[in-house]
Amino acid sequence: MSLDDQPRFDTLAIHAGAAPDPTTGARATPIYQTTSFVFDDVEHASSLFALQAFGNIYTRIMNPTQSVLEERIAALEGGTAALATASGHAAQLLIFHTMLEPGDEFIALRQLYGGSINQFNHSFKKFDWNVVWADADDLTSIEKAINPKTKALFIESIANPGGMVTDIEGISKIARRAGVPLIVDNTLATPYLCRPIEHGADIVVHSLTKFLGGHGTSMGGMIVDAGTFNWSRDGRYPTLSEPCESYNGMKLHETFGNIAFAIACRVLGLRDLGPCISPMNAFLIQQGVETLSLRMQRHCDNAVAVAEWLSDHKKVSWVSYAGLPGDRHHNLAQKYCPNGAGAVFTFGLKGGYDAGVKVVSNVNMLSHLANIGDVRSLIIHPSSTTHSQLAEQQQIAAGAGPDVVRLSVGLEDPQDIIADLEQALAAA
């Protein structure tokens, strides 16, 4: 590779942000298990606290192990900067804390992870941040929901639990016309399958707990700043455009330009709210990222095999997986996720709610639990668990109705996955 060539995806997944440890020569990124860092002198300390220099102060705000993970995910997503957090929910909290003021609104699609629906509907109301719901299959519903209080659009690239692929470019055009940023949760796709910034996203958010970590061991979240949004254009985002009292009147966007949003999330949100990722979790998630492309391709190949088999099963009424040629979102999957449509999808049982409960109760190899993105195959009945706090019509709108079972297809032999599903369906 010549010096002028840009490293490709698999190379970035292993090397981006990392270098041998300058003190010990360790090739793998060390776990910097420390709370704080010694300053060179008083001047050095003062410059760090005043945001006049980059460096480490306190692990709640930054840590060298965390920094490697942030640089790596930013590189894979094509962003300018990133911030790791304690979880995907923590990342969402910091995004909206940086962006919204009391009384503001944001638009989110109904086809969304049940935990995000709860966070937006209930917890965010305590901050007087108000969600307005729209439909991924009807982009006019997004335009109709926009009003002067709207400050952002929030979508998932591949929706959880239904596995539908969202028209990122189409929604980005709506966001541009409205003058608001587009936030894309890219958890199910990962940057291996989809790079939302290339299709108009301004901010990308991840639950690192899922496919990026990949092994079901470590909690984490990530905010990626695309560096594309003008936060100072019309005064609608005062945290970024107006003088900041915490930093002697500094205007963060004016000072930091295309990394300003990630900086603001760190030095205001993470500093004061505190949902930091641990060095150990940052290290473990880095290990997962190094094999991301290998794992995601196998996940997708297995998912296609399982989805095809379920499509022909007499107890299954439908399968929602954009990787199937007949699926209504297949064309969007070809556009946005050319390497595969992911490993999470849903199917409906002719026996309804009771059949769903029986299927998840009778699996042997598959794990019945509330997670996705593990090397192991996982199964859940959302109506009785993750979406149980929603009314039935809300469950149906989110793609998690009473008859729905969600699969996260793992890396086992696909015939063994199918065999376990077959005996569980027989028991139902």
Domain contains 383: yes
* Spatial separation of the C-alpha atoms in residues 350 and 254, rounded to whole Å: 58
> Does position 131 have pLDDT exceeding 60, yes or no?
yes
Number of domains in the chain: 2
pLDDT per residue as tens digits for the range 319-344: 999 999 999 999 999 999 999 999 99
Bridge partner residues of 318 (DSSP)? 348
Same domain, 265 and 344: no
Query: Does residue 398 register a pLDDT over 80?
Result: no
| Amino acid residing at 308 | E
Looking at the structure, tell me whether residues 74 and 130 fall in a common domain. yes
Do the domain assignments include residue 415?
Answer: yes
Position 129 confidence tier, pLDDT thresholds 50, 70, 90: very high
Q: Would you state the pLDDT for residue 4? A: 57
Given a cut of 90, whether residue 156 has pLDDT beyond it is yes
Work out the average pLDDT over 93-120: 95
CA 71 to chain CA centroid, nearest Å: 16
The C-alpha atoms of residue 423 and residue 428 are separated, in whole angstroms, by 9
Lowest mean pLDDT among 22-26, 92-96, 340-344, 412-416: 22-26
Asked if pLDDT for residue 3 goes beyond 60, the answer is no
Q: What is the mean pLDDT of residues 219-237?
A: 97
Judge if 304 and 275 occupy the same domain: no
Residue 268's pLDDT is: 98
Full residue range of the structural domain in which residue 330 is found: 292-427
Mean pLDDT score of the chain: 95
| Residues 146, 78 share a domain | yes
Q: Which of 57, 60, 49, 33 is nearest to 271 (CA)?
A: 60
For residue 378, list its beta bridge partners: 367, 408
pLDDT, average across residues 374-384: 95
Q: Indicate whether 98 belongs to any domain.
A: yes
Among the candidates 221, 255, 288, a domain finishes at 288
Residues 367, 279 share a domain: no
Whether 1 shows a pLDDT value over 70: the answer reads: no
pLDDT at 95 over 90: yes
User: Is the pLDDT score of 400 beyond 90?
Assistant: no
Given this model, what pLDDT does residue 397 score?
Answer: 78
- Of 182, 178, 156, 36, the C-alpha closest to 95 is 182
> What pLDDT is attached to residue 201?
98
Average pLDDT over residues 372-400: 88
Co-location of 382 and 257 in the same domain: no
